[in-house]
Amino acid sequence: GQLDTTCHAFVGETVILPCTTTPPGELTLSKSMLYWQIGTELVHFFQNGQDSLESQDEKFHGRTSLFLDQMKHGNLSLKISNVQLRDDAEYSCIYRQVENHETKKSVIKLNVSGK
């Protein structure tokens, strides 16, 4: 679990946690899975070409989004709105291709400061 990057945000702000993969051509989103996690907590999950948030951790409910129009070009970044102190954590961005089971993982640390 090597840290790839560190982000900083203040409480109440919107932050973008960067994660990219460099696809040859476009990603086939219908055959991709993208997990954003803190440990085993599910922050955001995308599969079969759409968000799948049934098992999303409730404290992130309604606060996370992906850049759906940019995902096929390899932008897997996560936007978190209304950042809270408890969002301060190490986030894992895990991208998995269904067909060849290729998995790419990066770790982003979010440091949250009070006002």
Domain 5-113 falls in which CATH fold? Immunoglobulin-like (2.60.40)
State how far the Cα of 91 lies from the Cα of 58, in Å rounded to an integer.
16
Give the count of alpha carbons within 13 A of 39, CB side only: 5
The tens place of each residue's pLDDT in the chain, 115 residues long, gives: 568 899 999 999 999 999 999 877 888 999 999 999 999 999 999 999 999 999 999 999 999 999 999 999 999 999 999 999 999 999 999 999 888 888 999 999 999 999 7
Nearest to 44 by CA among 20, 67, 59, 60: 60
Residue 2: the pLDDT is 67
Residue 24: the pLDDT is 76
Question: Domain extents for the chain?
Answer: 5-113
Residue 25: the pLDDT is 81
* DSSP character at residue 108: E
